[in-house]
């Protein structure tokens, strides 16, 4: 029998997260406060985030110990398997060896709980009783409700109405873990009420849902806000994925030639790749490839500029790749990748050429996702099909060149709650959803102007 | 950190299935043919089943090698983790140690692929091109379509219409794996057309869907039928669960005092428990507990008698616990447990007191299932909540008695495609669905009369 999976025992789990800020060739530029338009202080951000997470956000410290209480919850499903995609290799007829890290095995079905559990823990430590957060397609809201439940925190999720109506089982699983969920815009906040007053049938947007959650957290002493991607501490918590992958690849004497993840806000890609960025800086010969949707090509087509994190101008202004905070991405099924900006860390690494990015159209992703489901069994989340597409591209290149190649990608989640996307694809109802360049041009004309003080 | 999971490498996977027929104190009575009312011959059954499976069905051989090709597919997710339910233990405040075998990690989300893969393989070996099967709630149809896809067989699934309409994502995942699916009754078969002629809005039933699939298989040379539970060869293929569990418990020096599974047709229970039945016969001090729904209490309230396997009298007549083949179980959400009969092997073992059975009401199962979801993270399938309820009962007894106890149960699957059941439970819309005794009395008056020849 040919080996398929590489497992780690719980005793072999990494005990520290890796902070790529420690090794950046160019340090990160500071975030600005959206109200003062000056560099944001930890004290200002402490209104909605605990100090321990802000410390992780700002610090250049290379390693952070994972608290025992966090390890204990992660051990419910971690370490996750590293799997060799032999069926996919055969279907492609490639000489490449394709490996994937299977993050779909978490109870919430994606990598998101890796940081949700840590965020719930640190908030609990600082006496917070309740978390308010937003969710688009539902992966993050599910993860945060699971994590809050594990630490006895209350949790309120504002879910973009159009997804709330399209994916009713997300609401069900969030309720099952004891959290409260509102379709956004809701009657719970000023931002929500204002939007509903303007349009009672408002479909909602991620920007608006963020505004509702931030407002909720900012106006209640017992409540903090939690974000599922983009920020440095979120990327930090996800590095357990790559640290495990390195140990697993070592176990079988393999070294990846290319490490691949999909990018929306950047967190699952950060998770699989930042430990490899460290190795690359130390001299490892490895390419690191981010795959984004062609309909929201933040890194490949956006500007590297200061921009708001949300449409309502409540989140910090950060230096990142952006299509402009007023850009509304077309309605592809990979809802988790529909974000105008990108993690400042991923953006910085792309600028420094440590990370490459490509943009791929929706139909090619579903084609690759279906091939994966039929060869490896697992039905991937629409977001994860972008990483699979990236792996297929690399595997076909290897075939063309007649060369061996070791490909490692992150399977960020399963698609059990996104099956209507597969229905639409199989029925030939999907397209690649292009957008007019004028939309991006207009959005990019609305970037904020901030001035860095002389260093 | 406290250990949560016990893993096995692929190299530690059991290489043989265990056939409990080899060790039965009382041998099984033969099946009868529903048309001739005489003992059914393998040749008669070969019309819809391959000879290799019929051999496994009839033989007293204790061990069967698992073919390499089957092992290779199973290795996509097997061996499955054995997990200690520490969170559940703490919530119950029990001195018992609770372990569960996590069969929810298969791509189809349940234990069903263990036999689906084997059945697809043996059918392929005998030149069959296509499988016809039925599915109730959808677990089996999903598993069979996954397995057929892996071996390049076509697959047609007849799904009970009421479930087809209630659980649309089951259709989606079955299509994603390339199978064809029809709501039953369908226009594809005589049985289906007859039912539709009688009632164009016919909601369907498992009995009718079986009739459609058997008719399809019997009338096409290239097509066989596949069943997901009840039969001996199905139970055989599931024993890999218990064989793995024994190895995993040995690894940590534990021995279960009680082994628990839910029963509908009996296959997941057979899987976890038959290897322990072998050990019990050899002298191990272990109780083996089957948990059935109070609204379909086949073993605890049914007769041990010869009965038809389906309502249309096409499947073999077997000696089993039955509530009568015309008994229509109330519409509990654990659709996989709504079967009038029981595996002849499980029935035989219950008669010989090697296996105990209890019946539990729906609300107590969902209560236990919710507690499990909130302590262990995994949202269990409604069927699996019955096994969890059994474990909770045993753990609370241990608490009352102030005694240690080692409990092992089978988590047969997750509930990602059954979330509407949790919605209904959380909304207080579920009841325990009792049935009038007269329904069972009437059904039991319609058992077939067969005569065993003098031995």
SS (H, E, C) A243-255: HHHHHHHHHCCCC
pTM for the full model?
0.97
CA pair distance A405, A386, nearest whole angstrom: 19
Structure tokens at B131: 């499988």
Residues in A closer than 8 angstroms to B107, CB to CB, are: 376-379
C-beta separation of B193 from B211 below 8 A: no
- ipTM, 2 dp: 0.96
* Strand, helix or coil for residue B164: helix
Cβ-based neighbour number of residue B441 at 10 Å: 11
- Contact yes or no for B176 and A75 at CB 8 A: no
DSSP bridge partners of B410: B101
Structure tokens at B167: 């659980």
- Contact yes or no for A416 and B420 at CB 8 A: no
The secondary structure element, H or E, covering residue B130 is: strand B130-135
Cβ burial B391-401 (10 Å sphere, 16+ → b, else e): bbbbbeebbee
Q: What is the predicted pLDDT for the residue at A403?
A: 95
Average pLDDT over residues B46-58: 96
- Contact yes or no for B10 and A5 at CB 8 A: yes
Residues in A closer than 8 angstroms to B83, CB to CB, are: 76
- Helix residue spans in A199-252 (DSSP H): 206-218, 232-238, 240-251
Average pLDDT over residues B426-438: 91
Average pLDDT over residues B134-162: 96
Q: Report chain B's mean pLDDT, rounded to a whole number.
A: 95
The correct CATH number of A113-227 out of 2.40.10.500, 3.30.390.10, 3.40.50.1100, 3.30.1520.10 is 3.40.50.1100
CA pair distance A83, A7, nearest whole angstrom: 9
Q: How confident is the model at residue B455 (pLDDT cuts 50, 70, 90)?
A: low
Q: What is the predicted pLDDT for the residue at A162?
A: 86
- Contact yes or no for B377 and A77 at CB 8 A: yes
The overall longest dimension of chain A from CA atoms, in Å, is: 63
* Strand, helix or coil for residue B141: helix
* Strand, helix or coil for residue A70: helix
- Contact yes or no for A76 and B376 at CB 8 A: yes
- Please list the ranges in chain A whose pLDDT falls under 70: 454-455
- Contact yes or no for B419 and A1 at CB 8 A: no
- Contact yes or no for A9 and B10 at CB 8 A: no
- In angstroms, the separation between the Cα of residue B177 and the nearest Cα of chain A is 6
**What's the burial of A322, exposed, middle or buried (CB within 10 Å: 0-12/13-18/19+)?**
buried
Name the nearest CA neighbour of A117 among A81, A82, A142, A80: A142
Substitution target from B67, B77, B366, B370 for chain A, most A beta carbons within 10 A: B77
Bridge pairing between strands A63-65 and A16-18: antiparallel
- In angstroms, the separation between the Cα of residue B69 and the nearest Cα of chain A is 8
Residue A420: which of B7, B72, B172 has the nearest Cβ?
B172
C-beta separation of A404 from A94 below 8 A: no
- Helix residue spans in B290-343 (DSSP H): 298-301
- Contact yes or no for A1 and B426 at CB 8 A: no
C-beta separation of A303 from A297 below 8 A: no
Residue A72: which of B2, B10, B109 has the nearest Cβ?
B2
Lowest-confidence segment of A146-150, B107-111, B164-168, B331-335 by average pLDDT: B331-335
Residue A102, C-beta contacts closer than 8 angstroms, at least 6 positions apart: A80, A81, A82, A83, A378, A411
C-beta separation of A419 from B176 below 8 A: yes
DSSP bridge partners of B408: B99, B259
CA pair distance B313, B307, nearest whole angstrom: 9
Structure tokens at A339: 């974000």
C-beta separation of B46 from B288 below 8 A: no
- In angstroms, the separation between the Cα of residue B139 and the nearest Cα of chain A is 13
Structure tokens at A67: 């608290």
User: Could you tell me the strand order of the sheet in which A180-184 lies?
Assistant: A180-184, A154-160, A130-135, A223-225
CATH fold group of domain B17-63+113-232: Rossmann fold (3.40.50)
DSSP B104: G
Name the nearest CA neighbour of B91 among B379, B398, B395, B381: B395
DSSP bridge partners of B411: B102
- Contact yes or no for B75 and A416 at CB 8 A: no
pLDDT digits (tens, 9 = 90+) for B94-106: 999 999 999 999 9
- In angstroms, the separation between the Cα of residue A225 and the nearest Cα of chain B is 22
CB–CB contacts below 8 A, A to B: 120
Residues in B closer than 8 angstroms to A7, CB to CB, are: 7, 9
Residue B72: which of A1, A107, A108 has the nearest Cβ?
A1
Residue B1: which of A10, A173, A419 has the nearest Cβ?
A10
Residue B7: which of A2, A9, A106 has the nearest Cβ?
A9
CATH fold group of domain A5-13+71-109+234-444: Rossmann fold (3.40.50)
CA pair distance B43, B361, nearest whole angstrom: 42
Q: Which of A335 and B223 is assigned the larger pLDDT?
A: B223
Residue A172: which of B7, B107, B422 has the nearest Cβ?
B422
Structure tokens at A209: 């849902």
Residue B377: which of A1, A76, A87 has the nearest Cβ?
A76
In angstroms, what CA-CA distances link A420 with A46, A251, B183?
40, 39, 18
Residue B4: which of A76, A378, A419 has the nearest Cβ?
A76
- In angstroms, the separation between the Cα of residue A91 and the nearest Cα of chain B is 12
CA pair distance B451, B437, nearest whole angstrom: 28
- Contact yes or no for A176 and B7 at CB 8 A: no
Lowest-confidence segment of A349-353, B147-151, B448-452 by average pLDDT: B448-452
- In angstroms, the separation between the Cα of residue A107 and the nearest Cα of chain B is 5
Residues in B closer than 8 angstroms to A172, CB to CB, are: 419-420, 422-423
* Strand, helix or coil for residue A164: helix
Substitution target from B9, B73, B108, B379 for chain A, most A beta carbons within 10 A: B379
Helix crossing, A362-376 with A384-401: angle to 10°?
Answer: 80
| Domain A5-13+71-109+234-444 and domain A113-227 have a common topology | yes
* Domain range list for chain A: 5-13+71-109+234-444, 113-227
- In angstroms, the separation between the Cα of residue A156 and the nearest Cα of chain B is 16
pLDDT digits (tens, 9 = 90+) for B348-385: 999 999 999 999 999 999 999 999 999 999 999 999 99
Structure tokens at B366: 């969902």
- Contact yes or no for A7 and B9 at CB 8 A: yes
Name the nearest CA neighbour of B323 among B341, B336, B338: B341
Average pLDDT over residues B321-350: 91
Residues in B closer than 8 angstroms to A71, CB to CB, are: 1
C-beta separation of A322 from A447 below 8 A: yes
CA pair distance B373, B388, nearest whole angstrom: 11
Residue B75: which of A1, A9, A373 has the nearest Cβ?
A1
Q: What is the predicted pLDDT for the residue at B454?
A: 65
The half-sphere exposure of A31 on its side-chain side, counting CA atoms within 13 A, is 24
Nearest residue of A to residue B421, measured between CA atoms? A172
Q: What is the predicted pLDDT for the residue at B334?
A: 84
- In angstroms, the separation between the Cα of residue B312 and the nearest Cα of chain A is 33
Q: How confident is the model at residue B451 (pLDDT cuts 50, 70, 90)?
A: confident
Name the nearest CA neighbour of A384 among A298, A247, A295, A261: A261
Sign of CA dihedral A282, A283, A286, A292: positive
C-beta separation of A258 from A407 below 8 A: yes
Percent of chain B with pLDDT over 70: 100
CA pair distance A300, A355, nearest whole angstrom: 12
Nearest residue of A to residue B15, measured between CA atoms? A1
Q: Which of A211 and B225 is assigned the larger pLDDT?
A: B225
pLDDT at B128 over 70: yes
- In angstroms, the separation between the Cα of residue A321 and the nearest Cα of chain B is 35
Q: What is the predicted pLDDT for the residue at B331?
A: 81
**Overall residue count recorded for chain A in this entry:** 455
C-beta separation of A124 from A94 below 8 A: no
- Contact yes or no for A72 and B416 at CB 8 A: no
Residue B259, C-beta contacts closer than 8 angstroms, at least 6 positions apart: B242, B272, B273, B276, B286, B287, B288, B289, B408, B409
Residue A417: which of B150, B416, B420 has the nearest Cβ?
B416
Q: What is the predicted pLDDT for the residue at B206?
A: 82
Residues in A closer than 8 angstroms to B146, CB to CB, are: 377
Q: What is the predicted pLDDT for the residue at A317?
A: 93
CA pair distance A376, A370, nearest whole angstrom: 10
Domain B5-13+77-109+233-444 has CATH 2.60.40.420: no
DSSP bridge partners of A247: none
Q: What is the predicted pLDDT for the residue at A331?
A: 81
pLDDT at B53 over 70: yes
Q: What is the predicted pLDDT for the residue at B338?
A: 87
- Contact yes or no for A416 and B419 at CB 8 A: no
Residues in B closer than 8 angstroms to A146, CB to CB, are: 377
DSSP B32: B
- Contact yes or no for A4 and B76 at CB 8 A: yes
- In angstroms, the separation between the Cα of residue B356 and the nearest Cα of chain A is 31
- Contact yes or no for B72 and A2 at CB 8 A: yes
- Contact yes or no for B169 and A10 at CB 8 A: no
- Contact yes or no for B7 and A4 at CB 8 A: no
The secondary structure element, H or E, covering residue B249 is: helix B240-251
Residues in A closer than 8 angstroms to B416, CB to CB, are: 109, 169, 173, 416-417
- In angstroms, the separation between the Cα of residue A165 and the nearest Cα of chain B is 14
Nearest residue of B to residue A373, measured between CA atoms? B177
- Contact yes or no for A107 and B1 at CB 8 A: no
- In angstroms, the separation between the Cα of residue A276 and the nearest Cα of chain B is 26
- In angstroms, the separation between the Cα of residue A200 and the nearest Cα of chain B is 26
Cβ-based neighbour number of residue A72 at 10 Å: 18
């Amino acid at each position: 029998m040919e080996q398929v999976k590489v497992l780690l025992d719980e005793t072999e789990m990494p005990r520290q997260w890796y902070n790529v800020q420690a090794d950046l060739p160019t340090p990160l530029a500071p975030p600005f406060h959206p109200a003062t338009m000056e560099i944001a202080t930890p004290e200002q951000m402490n209104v909605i985030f605990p100090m321990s997470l802000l410390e992780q956000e700002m610090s250049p410290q290379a390693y952070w110990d994972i608290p025992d209480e966090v390890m204990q919850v992660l051990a419910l499903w971690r370490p996750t398997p590293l799997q060799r995609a032999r069926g996919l290799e055969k279907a492609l007829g490639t000489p490449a060896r394709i490996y994937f890290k299977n993050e779909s095995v978490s109870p919430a079905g994606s990598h998101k709980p890796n940081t949700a559990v840590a965020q719930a823990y640190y908030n609990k430590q600082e006496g917070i009783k309740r978390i308010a957060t937003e969710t688009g397609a539902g992966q993050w809201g599910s993860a945060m409700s699971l994590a809050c439940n594990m630490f006895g925190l209350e949790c309120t999720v504002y879910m973009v109405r159009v997804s709330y109506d399209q994916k009713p089982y997300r609401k069900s699983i969030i309720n099952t873990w004891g959290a409260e969920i509102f379709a956004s815009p809701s009657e719970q906040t000023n931002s929500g009420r204002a939007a509903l007053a303007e349009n009672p049938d408002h479909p909602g947007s991620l920007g608006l849902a963020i505004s509702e959650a931030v407002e909720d957290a900012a106006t209640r002493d017992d409540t903090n806000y939690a974000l599922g991607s983009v920020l440095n501490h979120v990327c930090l918590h996800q590095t357990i994925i790559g640290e495990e992958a390195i140990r697993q690849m070592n176990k079988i004497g393999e070294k990846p030639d290319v490490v691949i993840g999909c990018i929306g806000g950047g967190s699952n890609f950060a998770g699989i790749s930042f430990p490899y960025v460290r190795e690359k800086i130390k001299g490892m010969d490895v390419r690191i490839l981010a795959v984004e949707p062609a309909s929201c090509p933040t890194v490949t087509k956006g500007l590297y500029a200061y921009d708001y994190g949300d449409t309502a101008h409540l989140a910090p202004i950060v230096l990142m790749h952006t299509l402009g905070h007023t850009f509304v991405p077309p309605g592809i099924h990979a809802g988790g990748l529909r974000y105008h900006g990108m993690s400042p860390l991923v953006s910085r690494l792309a600028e420094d050429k440590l990370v490459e990015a490509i943009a791929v159209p929706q139909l090619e992703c579903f084609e690759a996702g279906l091939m994966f489901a039929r060869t490896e069994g697992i039905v991937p989340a629409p977001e994860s099909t972008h990483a699979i597409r990236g792996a297929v591209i690399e595997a076909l290149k290897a075939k063309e060149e007649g060369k061996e190649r070791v490909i490692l990608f992150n399977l960020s989640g399963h698609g059990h709650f996104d099956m209507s996307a597969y229905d639409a694809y199989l029925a030939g109802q999907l397209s690649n959803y292009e957008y007019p360049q004028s939309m991006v041009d207009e959005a990019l004309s609305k970037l904020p102007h901030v001035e860095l003080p002389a260093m």
